[in-house]
Amino acid sequence: VCLIPQGRVSSYVEVSRVLGQGWSPRSVGQALKRNPHAPVVPCHRIVRADRSLGGYFGATCLEDGQMQAKVRLLEEEGVVMERKQDSLFVKPECFWHFPQTIELEAVILPPV
């Protein structure tokens, strides 16, 4: 997720594709929910495949403080969203796809 540029988002599906076998979109979401390095490791840049915001640290309701933080972080980075009914959706031009082939490097972060 650190490869996703500021002002852009990607999806749980995209991340699972890049990580390969053994990683489902749901398992990506579960791992990101436990991200102790946010927002340095920018899990807020991951949304659902339909470009709706999904969750943030387990919260999914827009009125929740965690989700408000996700919205604020994305807006500060320049991500454009639109409201449809009771959900926010990222505009298509802000969606980022990983390259088809990508070399992944392990990043070692300090313990929390």
Tens digits of residue pLDDT in 30-61: 999 999 999 999 999 999 999 999 889 888 89
More confident of the two residues 112 and 72: 72
Q: What is the mean pLDDT of the chain?
A: 90
- Taking a C-beta distance cutoff of 8 angstroms, is the pair 98, 3 a contact? yes
| DSSP 8-state assignment for residue 100 | S
What is the domain partition of the chain in residue ranges?
A: 10-93
Residue 43 bears catalytic tag: yes
CATH architecture of the domain covering 10-93: Orthogonal Bundle (1.10)
Cα–Cα distance between 90 and 103 in angstroms, integer? 27
Catalytic residue among 2, 43, 61, 94: 43
Cα–Cα distance between 82 and 38 in angstroms, integer? 24
